[in-house]
Amino acid sequence: MSLLECNNLGISIGNTSVCQNLNLQMNAGESWVVLGKNGSGKTTLIHTLAGLRQAETGEVRLQEQSLHQYSRQQIAQRLGVLFQQDEESFPSTVLESTLIGRHPFLNWMQWESNNDIALAEQALDKMDLLEFKNRDIHTLSGGERRRVRIACLLTQNPDIALLDEPDNHLDIHHQIETLTLLKQQFKNKLLFMSAHDVNLATRFCTHALLLLGDGKSICGKIDEIITTGNLELLYGIKINKLRQDNSDYYFPA
């Protein structure tokens, strides 16, 4: 069964066409990356797939039903979003911020259960943040707050994760550690992420979508889509490829 799909999707930002007649079918066990220049609409596409923005044409389908057939709570029980920037407005502890991931499963009169707290603590432990659970989130670094947001997503435990630059603010160690964890946690689910690092994308993703501009895009299995020719078309620069240890690496000429 397809977990998330878009049919003839058309999205624009002002005079910029993000995609036209985009058709994607994304299944359990797949991890997708969307690549494109700055301003190409990667974030806008993620927001549209999450139902946070209305498409101009076409539709998004969640588990084979139109997104509009679900309430916001029902969507949040199935689909999680990691925003590119997500600043805390109010004081809260790290644990309280992580427990937001359980809110889609509570009614307005419920408090988090011991099981909810255990799930949040497990997620913080996976992100190496458990010792900070009683810290005010505003005392953390940008990278640490990013990891709290990912712990919140793990606490939510959706079938689909839409991630806007999940490695944003993370050092190289935590980039690899976090992407490895996400790939493992969602191995039987669906990951869809935006990225700038092509080499991390080829390492952790099975499929790719390239936003070429003017509404044009190409998508498919990552070893078929990520080529020097396609990357040169995408970024408008010369790209070299290095083959090492049975893997391909791409860098500007």
pLDDT, block means (10 residues), the chain with 253 residues:
94 94 97 96 97 96 95 97 80 95 91 95 97 95 95 98 94 96 96 96 97 96 97 97 91 92
Neighbours of 73 (CB within 10 A): 12
User: Is the dihedral angle over the CA atoms 133, 84, 236, 211 positive or is it negative?
Assistant: positive
Closest by Cα among 174, 167, 239, 233 to 197? 167
Asked if the 2-252 domain carries CATH number 3.30.365.10, the reply is no
pLDDT for the residue 217? 97
CA 223 – CA 213 distance, rounded (Å): 21
pLDDT for the residue 161? 98
Kindly tell me the burial class for residue 48, based on how many C-beta atoms sit within 10 Å of its own C-beta (0-12, 13-18, 19 or more): buried
pLDDT for the residue 88? 65
Q: How far is CA 215 from CA 59, 70, 75, 218, 232, in A?
A: 16, 28, 27, 10, 17
pLDDT for the residue 135? 96
Contact 38, 95 (CB under 8 A): no
pTM of the model: 0.95
pLDDT digit string, tens, across residues 28-85: 999 999 999 999 999 999 999 999 999 999 999 999 999 999 999 999 999 999 998 7
DSSP helix/strand/coil, 212: strand
Neighbours of 83 (CB within 10 A): 17
pLDDT for the residue 38? 94
